[in-house]
Amino acid sequence: MVLTLRQKTILNLIVSDYIHGAVPVASQALSQNHSLGVSPATIRNDIMELERESFLGRPYSSAGTIPLDKAYRVYVESMPLVQMHRVPNDVKIRVRSRLVEVEQDMEEWSSVAATLLANLVCNMGIATFPRAYQSRVRHLQVVSIQDNQALLIVVLEQGRVKHQFVRLEEPLPSDAVQAVANKLNDVSCGKSAKEICVTNLDLSSIEECLINATIEILEQEDIARRPEYYLLGLSNILRQPEFTSSDSVGEIVGAIEDGSLAQAVLNEAPDGTMVRVVIGHENQEDKLRPLSLVLSQYGIPGEASGVVGAVGPMRMEYDRTIAGVQLMVELMSDLVESVQGTN
């Protein structure tokens, strides 16, 4: 069905009123509260047509109408035609300041970003740690433990620190530790596992053991399938009238606890930095069907990136949520660029 301009206007007004009121919208209230320039009978006829085409539904026959998935999609795609929500400057400054506080502690990025976004959009926030397309070495350290054993410490470019005990073919003298570490840094810094493997290296047996362990660490990091994430703000969801029943709450909490909700959300993430909105039954997995997602990647395309987004009911404030996600993408990308620039 191709909507007329008036039908699209009526539909968007119903969606907007329902988002902010959380109660079915009656045609009489629509006529009284908005200047549509047509008779109440015309509005009723348009609403009936929108119901027949599954844009609107009714919880029971005498109730007003509520938006269905298709209505929210029309509403979201119409938003560029109206005034988009703008995050106030004082809020931007507070969010940026909080992220700057953890700029040197990259393990905190995902937690802080998810918390900030959840508070910003009054829904759940999700954020993953930025991952390089190929893990690369930023710095190596070697600690001699005893006899033929050493501790290898590998700092990756995206800030993760990996430790591995390495059994050597011969003892590593304490006075040779720094020289070995310096040589390993010379041959591996800034390189991926594949790049180290194809480099012509003149190494001692000890150095070869340590460089092989480094390659193993990089390869394991590259094949890790599940990104580390934080999904926070459940209390925001539980305050929504859609989730007042014990069954719906139990399903959401259970899916959060076993990690399946977050993984399903991340499976919907877009490949690029454009914001993707996924509404209700557009989601691939059943557990997400009562929800809408607003997701985007952040970071440096082709180098290091993560996912940030919001999870909430279909009756979410999409303009506010999209603006919040866009702000977090901008700020998180700045953090990644700052760290990459120091390598």
pLDDT digits (tens, 9 = 90+) for 276-296: 999 999 999 999 999 999 999
pTM: 0.76
Does position 343 have pLDDT exceeding 70, yes or no? no
Looking at residue 227, what is its pLDDT? Answer: 64
- Please tell me the predicted confidence (pLDDT) of residue 133: 66
**pLDDT for 103:** 83
Q: Which residue has the higher pLDDT, 106 or 19?
A: 19
Write down the pLDDT at residue 337. 86
pLDDT in tens, 176-221: 999 999 999 999 999 989 899 988 888 999 999 999 999 999 988 8
What's the rounded mean pLDDT across residues 297-324? 91
What is the pLDDT averaged over residues 9-13? 96
Q: Inform me whether the pLDDT recorded for 82 exceeds 60.
A: no
Residue scoring higher pLDDT (84 or 58): 58
The DSSP bridge partners found for residue 307 are: 297
The answer, yes or no, to whether residue 267 has pLDDT greater than 80, is: yes
Residue of higher predicted confidence among 277 and 273: 277
State yes or no: pLDDT of 57 exceeds 60: yes
pLDDT at position 226 is 53
Task: List phi, psi (to 5°) of 162.
Answer: -115, 140
Mean predicted lDDT score pLDDT of the chain: 89
Q: Would you state the pLDDT for residue 342?
A: 54
Nearest to residue 231, comparing CAs of 325, 125, 123? 125
3-state secondary structure of 153: strand
Residue 246 has pLDDT above 80, yes or no: no
- pLDDT attached to residue 117: 97
Please give the backbone phi and psi of residue 151, each rounded to the nearest 5 degrees, phi first.
-105, 120
Q: How confident is the model at residue 129 (pLDDT cuts 50, 70, 90)?
A: confident
pLDDT at 147: 78
32-37-43-47 Cα dihedral, nearest 10 degrees: -100
**Nearest residue to 266 via CA among 247, 283, 280:** 283
Confidence of residue 224 (pLDDT cuts 50, 70, 90): low
Q: Does 81 score more than 70 pLDDT? A: no
Query: In the chain, pLDDT over 70 holds for what percent of residues?
Result: 95
Ordered strands of the 149-156 beta sheet: 137-146, 149-156, 161-167
Enumerate the H helices of the chain as residue ranges.
Answer: 5-21, 27-33, 40-52, 69-78, 89-101, 109-121, 177-188, 193-197, 205-223, 234-238, 246-257, 260-267, 318-341
In this prediction, residue 84 carries a pLDDT of: 62
Report the pLDDT value the prediction gives residue 248, as an integer from 0 to 100.
Answer: 74
For residue 150, what is the DSSP state? E
Torsion sign across C-alpha atoms 185, 189, 191, 195: negative
